[in-house]
Amino acid sequence: MLRYVIRRVLLMIPTLLGVAVLIFILMRLIPGDIVEIRFAGEGGGVTEEMMAQERSRLGLDQSLVWQFVHWIVGIARFDFGISMWTGQPISYEIGLRFGLSLQIAIMATLLATLLAIPLGTLSALKQDTLIDYAVRVFSIAGLATPSFWLGILMILGFLIFFQWMPPIRYTPIWVDPVANLTQLIWPALATGYRYSAVATRMTRSAVLEVLREDHVRTARAKGLRERIVLVRHAVKNALLPIITVIGLEFAFLLGGLVVTEQVFNLNGIGLLFVKAVGNHDYTMVQALVMLVAMVFIVTNLVVDILYAWIDPRVYYR
C-alpha cells in the first residue's frame, strides 16, 4: 500500500508537467497580453517603447522556451514567482485566499455528507413512500437551484427580516471561530445544499442497489437486527460510489466557487482566478491551474485509498 502511494505521488510529476505545458501554451494563445491590457486605459499616450520596456521587465521578451523553463524551475523549488499584475509574490496572494476557500469546501463537504448519507438511505428504505418523495423533491430542488442564487436569497432574507448582513472581513477560524463561522457558514450552506442533493441521489440509488443484493438477504436470514443489516451490510457497501461523487465535488469546490464568492463578497480563490484570467496575469493563472490540478490529483488519490480501506477486494500494488 505504501509503495502504491509513493508511486502515485511520483506519477503526479508527469501529470502536473503535462498540465503545465498545456496551460502555458493556452495562456499564450489568448489574443492580447498583459501589457496591452494594462495600458489599454491610457489611450494614445502609450508608446511602443513603453510597452517594450514593460514586456522586458516582465520577462515577456524572452523566448517562450526560456520563459517556460524559468517558470518550471521555479515551481520545482516551490517558488511560484511574482504576479505580473499586482507585483506581489503569488504564494502570498494565494495564501491570503486559500484558507477561506478550503474552509468553505470542507464545511460544504461535511454538510453534504452528513445530510446525504442518512437522507439517501432513508429515501431508499422508504422507497416510493411519502418520505421518499419528500427527500427526492428536496434533492431535485437542490440540483435545480444554483448556489449563487440561493446565496442571494439568503442575503436578501437577512437584510429584509433582520436588517443584518454576514461580516465581509475574513477572520481565520483560529483567531475568532464565531466571527469566522458567522461569515463562512452561509456560503457553505448555499453550496453544500446543491452538493448534498447530488450526493443524496447517489446514496439513494447505491443503497437501493445494495439492498437487492443476496448478501443482505443472508444478513436478514441470520437474524441480525435491522439496524445492523442496514448500516453494516447495506450502507457500508454503498459507500464506494458515494465517496467518488463527494471527492469530485470537493475538488471542484476549491476552484469553482466564482459566483458564490462574489455574492457573499468573499475574497477567495475563484474570484482571484477570474480576475487573473481577465488581466492576462500569466503567472497567476498558471499557478492557480497548477494548484487546482494538484487538488484534483490529491483528492483522487485519497478516494482511491479510501476504496482500498473499505473494500478488501481492492488491492493496490
Closer CB to other proteins, residue 106 or residue 224?
Answer: 224
Please state the closest distance from residue 130 (CB atom) to other proteins, in A: 15
H-type helices in 223-281, by residue range? 226-228, 236-255, 258-263, 269-278
Residue 270 Cα distances to 55, 62, 135, 179, 262, angstroms: 27, 30, 31, 22, 9
How far does CA 259 lie from the centroid of its chain? 13
Please state the closest distance from residue 258 (CB atom) to other proteins, in A: 39
289 close to 27: Cβ distance less than 8 angstroms? no
Contacts to other proteins by CB under 8 A: 128, 213-215, 217-226, 228, 232-233, 236-237, 310-313
Please state the closest distance from residue 224 (CB atom) to other proteins, in A: 5
Closer CB to other proteins, residue 61 or residue 226?
Answer: 226
Please state the closest distance from residue 3 (CB atom) to other proteins, in A: 21
Closer CB to other proteins, residue 77 or residue 313?
Answer: 313
Please state the closest distance from residue 201 (CB atom) to other proteins, in A: 21
Please state the closest distance from residue 198 (CB atom) to other proteins, in A: 24
Element (H, E) at 130: helix 130-144
Please state the closest distance from residue 234 (CB atom) to other proteins, in A: 10
Closer CB to other proteins, residue 70 or residue 220?
Answer: 220
Give the residue carrying C-alpha cell 477560524. Answer: 173
Helix 177-211 / helix 147-157 crossing angle, nearest 10 deg = 130
Q: Which residues pair with 89 in a beta bridge?
A: 82
64 close to 28: Cβ distance less than 8 angstroms? yes
Please state the closest distance from residue 127 (CB atom) to other proteins, in A: 9
Counted residue by residue, the chain has a size of: 317
- How many Å from the N-terminal Cα to the C-terminal Cα in the chain? 6
203 close to 119: Cβ distance less than 8 angstroms? yes
Q: b/e for 99-128, b at 16 or more Cβ within 10 A?
A: bbbbbbbebbbebbbebbbebbbbbbbeee
Closer CB to other proteins, residue 153 or residue 314?
Answer: 314
Closer CB to other proteins, residue 65 or residue 221?
Answer: 221
Closer CB to other proteins, residue 107 or residue 211?
Answer: 211
Closer CB to other proteins, residue 57 or residue 232?
Answer: 232
303 close to 243: Cβ distance less than 8 angstroms? yes
Distance in angstroms (rounded) separating the CA atoms of residues 273 and 285: 6
